[in-house]
Structure 1
Amino acid sequence: MFNPTRDQVRSFFIESWRKQRAAEPLTAMESMAVDIIGLHPEYHAVLEDPEAIQREFSPDDGQINPFLHLSLHLAIEEQLSIDQPPGIRAATATLQLARGNRHDALHEVLECLGETMFNAQRNNTQPDGTAYLACIRRRGGS
């Protein structure tokens, strides 16, 4: 299983965005990443700064870590593509209908994923797919 370091993840997003801006060919994963980056113009300057690889983004300072945010988006896109955990695709579609647009719905799924990962780390357990889906369904009104 691939377990990239923080710097590898950051380099992936920075390099994907660089290739997009230079009109260079992208891999399927890079293409998915740049689609997500395109939805977040607030992160473009960070991704264009090579020193961002070493930058700290502290929630104590009110900062959102753009690399974490983009990584969670990418994870959700992968989950949706294979419907894993089973039912996430339908639950997200329902949430999208409730919110009126896909990106807003994905941000809610992202909140559920973050909560699920936090609970797994806190409890030293595997992520609870059932609780994750229940969170998405609650937000979608089902």
Structure 2
Amino acid sequence: MFTPSQHDVRRFFCETFAKQRNRQVLTPLEAMAHDWILQHPEYEDALSNVEEALAADYSVERGLSNPFLHLSMHLSIAEQISIDQPPGIRHAFIDLAQRLGSEHEAHHQMMECLGEMIWNSQRSGLPPDGIAYVECVKRR
């Protein structure tokens, strides 16, 4: 299983942004990431300089939104939907997106549920509860 470091993730998004700006060919994962970058133009400054990105502090105490975490969550959710893992997440997403009239907003709602599932898992020491995650999305 691949477990990228914080710097790996930040470098990936910055390099993807730079490759697209330079009209270089993107890998399939980079293309998917770039689609989300395009939907978040407010992150362009954070993605423009890899050295600044690596040094940036997005700690809770600073009260700043972490663009790399946000984009990573979009990618994770897109992958979950594409393979329907946990089972039922694709259908829950489709229903939520239809209710909200926006796939992007549905992703943002799902991020709340994903974050809750991860927090509960870390707090309890138990594996992530995919069933609870899907149920949370259905309740949104």
Using the size of structure 2 for normalisation, the TM-score is: 0.96
Q: How does 1:77-92 map to 2 (within 5 A)?
A: 77-92=78-93
What is residue 23 of structure 1 aligned with on the other side? 23
Deviation per residue, 1:51-74 (Å, 9 max, x gap):
111211122232111111111110
| Structure 1 unaligned blocks of 5 or more | none
Aligned residues: percent identity?
50
Unaligned stretches of 5+ in structure 2?
Answer: none
- TM-score after normalising by structure 1: 0.95
Q: Specify the alignment match of 1:3 in structure 2.
A: 3
The equivalent residue for 1:129 is: 130
In the alignment, does 2:70 pair up with 1:73? no
Aligned-partner residue type, residue 106 of structure 2: A
| Rounded Cα–Cα distance in structure 2 between residues aligned with 1:58 and 1:5 | 16
> How many angstroms apart in 2 are the aligned matches of 1:22 and 1:5?
26
**1:136 counterpart letter in structure 2:** V
Give the Cα–Cα distance (whole angstroms) in 1 for the partners of residues 65 and 126 of structure 2: 26
Deviating above 4 A after TM superposition, structure 1's stretches of 4 or more consecutive aligned residues are none
Give the SS at the match of 2:111: helix
**Count of aligned residue pairs for this structure pair:** 139
CA separation in 2, counterparts of 1:78 and 1:108? 16
Q: CA RMSD in A?
A: 0.8
Q: Give 1:37's aligned amino acid.
A: I
